[in-house]
Amino acid sequence: MTTAPLPGTVDDLHVPDTEDPWITETAWYSFWTTGGEYAAHVYLRFRPNLGIANPCVYVWGEGTSVEWDAAYWKHSHFPMPASLASMELLGGLRHEAVEPFGTYRISYADNEKYGAPLYLAAEFTALGPPEFLGRKHFDQPVHVTGTLGVDGTEYDVDCLAMRDRSWYSRGDYTLFRSAYSYAITAPDEQLLAIFAAPRDCDMLVDDLPTAGGYLESGRAGAPSRRDPLTSGTRRVIRREDFTGHPLEVVVEVGGPAGQERMTGRVRNCMAVAANPNMLSWMSLVEWEVGGRTVWGEDQEIWSPSIWRAFRRGHEHVAH
């Protein structure tokens, strides 16, 4: 297939053009088993000016998980690798770019955990070109196949998901709130919506405005096309009482192709803290979109202090 990255973009580790210690490069991959028994997230984080690689692996099952009761979680710190193209870190995590912007393989095994080993082997094949949000952040739809071994049982992986890459200055002492939702019904039927709370607005409300994304749809007898999102909101209409994580989500967006709405029921969810200044509710979601039901993701991302203020506000309202 042919992809069309922005001119000058490489799908490998980037050389910083500044000595800023907060220059951060990330590559993450999400996927889930064919029956939805487990979801997984591999998060690769690099601080090149500090010489640090910080890979994280998460696997979680039905219901709600935090790191200490998930099926599996591991945070590690290693020296910076030379490349993502053929990377093997000390902990055994392997990343291979078989074809830049086209095909990737990730494998990992932890044979030293208590009980049966945790292992994964996944191949990610691009469904289309990367979609850029600015010049240093892109997302790309992928078809994921492979296996995931959890607690002595091996599960098949076969899903349509997203991968994400970014490389810019991202400090550990900033405030932000954002979200990320997608559903891929078929290679030519996709909705990706990215949301962010403006810094000069109330960051504690449950409606987030659209910051980017696209709607891709096929027309009879014509190739599919992507249309950018220019308006819309993401709204959580129900949260779990004890943890506060999303249970039901509504996404309404608009652009040149018209309006689209999808409603989602969270099938499983995990609280992830891959970065020191970031709490992410990672959810596998059953989306209703265009009259069809399709699995996808919803990621709700907070600075910890904003999350605490949001939860305290909800507690005060409840009382």
189: domain range? 173-319
Position 13 in a domain? no
Position 317 in a domain? yes
Whether residue 205 is found in the same domain as residue 139: no
Is residue 137 within 8 A of residue 166, CB to CB? The reply is yes
Domain with 199 in it: what CATH number?
2.40.370
What spatial distance separates the first Cα and last Cα of the chain, rounded to whole Å? 56
Whether residue 319 is found in the same domain as residue 191: yes
Whether residue 166 is found in the same domain as residue 184: no
Whether residue 215 is found in the same domain as residue 251: yes
Is residue 124 within 8 A of residue 106, CB to CB? The reply is yes
Interatomic CA distance for residues 156 and 33, integer angstroms? 6
Whether residue 126 is found in the same domain as residue 198: no
State how many domains the chain has: 2
Position 4 in a domain? no
Q: What is the pLDDT along the chain (319 residues), one digit of tens a residue?
A: 344 678 778 899 999 999 999 999 999 999 999 999 999 999 999 999 999 999 999 999 988 888 888 999 999 999 999 999 999 999 999 999 999 999 999 999 999 999 999 999 999 999 999 999 999 999 999 999 999 999 999 999 999 999 999 999 999 998 989 999 999 999 999 999 999 998 878 889 889 999 999 999 876 556 788 999 999 999 999 999 999 999 999 999 999 988 999 999 999 999 999 888 999 999 999 999 988 999 999 999 999 999 999 999 865 443 3
Domain closes at, from 113, 143, 171: 171
Task: Kindly list the distances between the CA atom of residue 51 and the CA atoms of 55, 80, 205, 260, 317, in Å, as whole numbers in the listed order.
Answer: 13, 5, 38, 43, 46
Whether residue 30 is found in the same domain as residue 147: yes
Instruction: For residue 108, give both structure tokens.
Output: 């990992």
Whether residue 121 is found in the same domain as residue 249: no
Helix (H, G, I), strand (E, B) or coil at 48: coil
Q: Structure pTM? A: 0.93
Domain closes at, from 171, 200, 231: 171
